[in-house]
């Protein structure tokens, strides 16, 4: 029988399998624990200090420093990035600098023109390549799966494990194929498709699985759009999401300045190998589903997790009418969000718009939103933050004049970092503030204590910034 994309990569990275010990009567047998080899380990300042400290305490080294790459992104201020006023943030950033120097790890620091959100710079640098395994102490590591890479987030103990051994102990996850048939009708985007999927299967619908996305919609997508889809796999509970590599993937890797990507003859050999990765026609998945992309409308979340989402033409739901959630869950979410059941989504005003994050801060995202901002002004009393995902994205946007479009429209144009996606830096919502955000999590307090987050695509965010409330971008654009 054939193998799936996931199984091919998994099998090529199993160092050894440790069988379940018989001393566990009655326990569910797992087929053993695999020692899985990790090709690239990405590190950032928040989830690594305790791991490096663990190495120091046990007198261990980083086994493969040349496969380990670090940057700082979560704590970084996006206005004056070199002046970090919060002493605790500053200490965390300095700890990363010190740890990288001590253990010989390559660091793209705040002065580097390659700095950025870790999941944005991996692909930019050519570190993210098909058929490889990538881990990072960050749940959005699933982003890299867009290249046909097995990539997933890990905790700090596992970060230490990978630093020390270049391996991880893993039981094999199940596989789940999601087929997006048809093509989304612009301005419906990859973001809308993934939000629709999460709304359909729920925030735990993918738990225990690796998702593989396929179908016409995925094939037609750019790499950047595929990254948006894979990025939010974790919001469906799946640690990893993957897309089989194809010509789009190879072209992306060959384009631009990617110091770690193969070139010339090495590239040709690589492509030949990468072509063997897609799931075989007779490969079996543990679960499959399909979703008609042509029927998907722009999505807006109304609640406090990414599965609480509706079409922009919809209304804030009645608490007893949301499948998969108890009445109390919905009441709690609506109370936090300050929303009344039955309100049309397009009548909800916002205070802030955030365009950024590892979900939607690549150059295409900025181009798409700039198209909407061009020749328009943002609504009065709305604050709009545009935060490029990396310094490379920032430079590119400025070279294309996008920054001028944003500034003329009344937006703030910032330096790169995680920014308001999670408010570990000065960019935060105030209590009660409502935000249209291109990020990935609308959890309570995520963007600032008491802040109210609605997840949308970059295009929807831009249109919302101009209108001052959510709009159905499809009809709004025609005006």
Partner 1 sequence: MEPFRSHRGVLATLDRANVDTDQIIPKQFLKSIARTGFGQHLFQDWRYLPDGTPNPEFSLNGPRFRGASILVARNNFGCGSSREHAVWAIQQDGFRAVIAPWQQRGETRVPAFADIFRNNCAKNALLTVELSEPEVEEVFQMVDRFPGLEATVALEHQRMTLHLAEELSFHFEIDASTKERLIHGLDDIGLTLKQDAAIRAFESTHNPQLFTASKQTS
- Residues in region 332-361 near partner 1 by CB under 8 A: 332
**Burial (Cβ within 10 Å: 0-12, 13-18, ≥19) of residue 118:** buried
363-373 vs 391-399: helix crossing angle, rounded to 10: 40
Pick the binder of partner 1 from 4, 68, 128, 139 (CB under 8 A): 139
Pick the binder of partner 1 from 132, 149, 279, 352 (CB under 8 A): 132
Are 245 and 226 in contact by the 8 Å Cβ rule? The answer is no
List, edge to edge, every strand of the sheet that includes 240-243: 240-243, 209-214, 174-181, 287-292
Binding piece for partner 1, criterion CB under 8 A, among 126-134, 211-219, 277-285, 347-355: 126-134
The nearer residue to partner 1, 3 or 156, going by C-beta atoms, is 156
Binding piece for partner 1, criterion CB under 8 A, among 184-192, 213-221, 256-264, 404-412: 256-264
> Which residue blocks in 168-296 are alpha helix, DSSP H?
190-201, 216-219, 223-231, 247-254, 264-274
Are 143 and 231 in contact by the 8 Å Cβ rule? The answer is yes
Pick the binder of partner 1 from 154, 310, 345, 460 (CB under 8 A): 154
Are 385 and 435 in contact by the 8 Å Cβ rule? The answer is no
Pick the binder of partner 1 from 6, 10, 37, 103 (CB under 8 A): 37
Pick the binder of partner 1 from 65, 182, 324, 410 (CB under 8 A): 324
Q: Which two tokens stand for residue 436?
A: 């249209």
Tell me how far apart the alpha carbons of residues 151 and 451 are, in angstroms, rounded to a whole number: 31
169 lies in the site for partner 1, by CB under 8 A:
yes
239 lies in the site for partner 1, by CB under 8 A:
yes
The nearer residue to partner 1, 219 or 275, going by C-beta atoms, is 275
Tell me how far apart the alpha carbons of residues 151 and 144 are, in angstroms, rounded to a whole number: 6
83 lies in the site for partner 1, by CB under 8 A:
no
Binding string, residues 289-318; x marks residues near partner 1 by CB under 8 A: ----------------x-------------
The nearer residue to partner 1, 341 or 445, going by C-beta atoms, is 445
Binding piece for partner 1, criterion CB under 8 A, among 276-284, 290-298, 399-407, 443-451: 443-451
Are 298 and 472 in contact by the 8 Å Cβ rule? The answer is yes
82 lies in the site for partner 1, by CB under 8 A:
no
40 lies in the site for partner 1, by CB under 8 A:
yes
Tell me how far apart the alpha carbons of residues 55 and 156 are, in angstroms, rounded to a whole number: 12
104 lies in the site for partner 1, by CB under 8 A:
no
Are 107 and 204 in contact by the 8 Å Cβ rule? The answer is no
Compute how many other C-beta atoms are within 10 angstroms of the C-beta atom of residue 433: 17
The nearer residue to partner 1, 184 or 202, going by C-beta atoms, is 202
Site for partner 1 in 384-423 (CB under 8 A): 422-423
Tell me how far apart the alpha carbons of residues 4 and 279 are, in angstroms, rounded to a whole number: 4
Pick the binder of partner 1 from 11, 251, 255, 263 (CB under 8 A): 263
Tell me how far apart the alpha carbons of residues 320 and 71 are, in angstroms, rounded to a whole number: 45
Site for partner 1 in 198-227 (CB under 8 A): 202-205, 207-208
The nearer residue to partner 1, 328 or 479, going by C-beta atoms, is 328
166 lies in the site for partner 1, by CB under 8 A:
yes
Sequence-separated (6 or more) residues with CB below 8 Å from residue 465: 350, 353, 373, 378, 379, 382, 384, 409, 411, 436
266 lies in the site for partner 1, by CB under 8 A:
yes
12 lies in the site for partner 1, by CB under 8 A:
yes
148 lies in the site for partner 1, by CB under 8 A:
no
111 lies in the site for partner 1, by CB under 8 A:
no
Rounded to the nearest 10°, the torsion over CA 440, 445, 450, 453 is 10
160 lies in the site for partner 1, by CB under 8 A:
yes
Site for partner 1 in 170-189 (CB under 8 A): 171, 173
Pick the binder of partner 1 from 8, 172, 434, 441 (CB under 8 A): 441
């Amino acid at each position: 029988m054939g193998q799936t994309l996931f199984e091919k990569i998994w099998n090529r990275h199993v160092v050894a399998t440790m069988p379940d010990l018989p001393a566990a009567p009655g326990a569910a047998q797992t087929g053993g624990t695999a020692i899985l080899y990790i090709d690239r380990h990405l590190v950032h300042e928040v989830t690594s200090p305790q791991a490096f400290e663990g190495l120091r305490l046990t007198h261990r080294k980083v086994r493969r420093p040349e496969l380990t790459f670090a940057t700082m992104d979560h704590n970084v201020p996006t206005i004056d990035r070199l002046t970090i006023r919060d002493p605790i943030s500053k200490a965390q950033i300095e700890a990363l600098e010190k740890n990288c120097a001590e253990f010989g790890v390559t660091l793209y620091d705040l002065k580097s023109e390659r700095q950025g959100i870790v999941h944005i710079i991996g692909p930019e640098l050519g570190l993210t390549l098909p058929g490889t395994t990538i881990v990072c102490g960050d749940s959005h590591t699933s982003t890299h799966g867009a290249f046909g890479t097995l990539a997933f987030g890990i905790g700090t103990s596992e970060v230490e494990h990978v630093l020390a051994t270049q391996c991880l102990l893993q039981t094999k996850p199940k596989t789940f194929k999601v087929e997006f048939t048809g093509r989304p009708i612009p301005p419906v985007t990859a973001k809308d498709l993934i939000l629709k999927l999460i709304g359909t299967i729920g925030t735990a619908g993918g738990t225990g699985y690796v998702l593989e996305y396929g179908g016409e919609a995925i094939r037609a997508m750019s790499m950047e759009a595929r990254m948006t889809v894979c990025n939010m796999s974790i919001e469906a509970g799946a640690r990893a999401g993957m897309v089989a590599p194809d010509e789009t993937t190879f072209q992306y890797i060959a384009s631009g300045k990617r110091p770690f990507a193969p070139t010339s003859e090495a590239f040709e050999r690589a492509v030949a190998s990468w072509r063997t990765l897609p799931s075989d026609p007779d490969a079996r998945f543990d679960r499959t589903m399909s979703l008609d992309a042509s029927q998907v409308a722009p999505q807006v979340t109304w609640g406090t997790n990414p599965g609480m989402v509706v079409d922009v033409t919809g209304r804030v739901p009645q608490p007893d009418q949301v499948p998969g959630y108890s009445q109390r869950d919905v009441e709690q979410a609506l109370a936090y969000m300050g929303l009344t059941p039955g309100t049309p989504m397009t009548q909800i005003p916002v205070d802030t718009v955030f365009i950024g994050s590892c979900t939607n801060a690549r150059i295409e995202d900025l181009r798409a939103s700039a198209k909407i901002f061009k020749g328009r002004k943002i609504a009065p009393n709305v604050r709009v933050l545009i935060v490029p995902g990396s310094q490379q994205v920032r430079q590119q946007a400025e070279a294309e004049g996008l920054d001028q479009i944003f500034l003329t429209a009344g937006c703030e144009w910032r330096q790169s970092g995680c920014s308001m996606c999670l408010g570990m830096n000065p960019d935060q919502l105030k209590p009660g503030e409502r935000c249209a955000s291109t990020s990935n999590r609308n959890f309570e307090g995520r963007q600032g204590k008491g802040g109210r987050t609605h997840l949308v695509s970059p295009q929807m965010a831009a249109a919302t910034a101009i209108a001052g409330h959510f709009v159905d971008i499809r009809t709004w654009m025609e005006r």
